[in-house]
Structure 1
């Protein structure tokens, strides 16, 4: 059983976005691992493994428009099922 079973990925479109600020917030406030927050001040790509993907979505939506949202259950994938 995976501790952080949801692979959460999305894009955030906004203004004055900061990779460092987003990385710091998620690291300090949402349990998980394998965090990537990359992009520029107008567009950031998020990749994060967590048990609570809704927290990631809620936070990111507070920063701008979120889109291309993908939440995959890696535990199901590991068992040969569709994630």
Structure 2
């Protein structure tokens, strides 16, 4: 069984976005692993494994417009099912 079930990916479009600030907030406030927060001050790509993807979406939506949202169930994928 996986420790963190959901692979959560999305884009944030906004102004004055900070990779470092986003990385720090998610690391300190949302349990998970494999965090990537990369981009520039107008567009950030997020990739994060967590059991609470809704918390990631809520936080990211507070920063700007979110889109290209993908939440995949890695436990189902590990069992050969569609995630």
Report TM bin, short chain.
over 0.9
Q: Which runs of 5+ in 2 are unaligned?
A: none
Structure-1 separation of matches of 2:60 and 2:50 = 14
Tell me the equivalent position of 1:16: 16
| Residue 48 of structure 2 corresponds to residue 39 of structure 1 | no
Show the 5 A alignment for 1:54-69: 54-69=54-69
Structure-2 separation of matches of 1:22 and 1:2 = 25
TM-score, normalization by structure 1: 0.99
Aligned length: 83
TM-score, normalization by structure 2: 0.99
Structure-2 separation of matches of 1:77 and 1:24 = 29
CA RMSD of aligned residues (A): 0.3
SS of structure 2 residue aligned to 1:45: strand
Q: Which runs of 5+ in 1 are unaligned?
A: none
SS of structure 2 residue aligned to 1:11: strand
Question: CA offset at residue 74 of structure 1?
Answer: 0.2
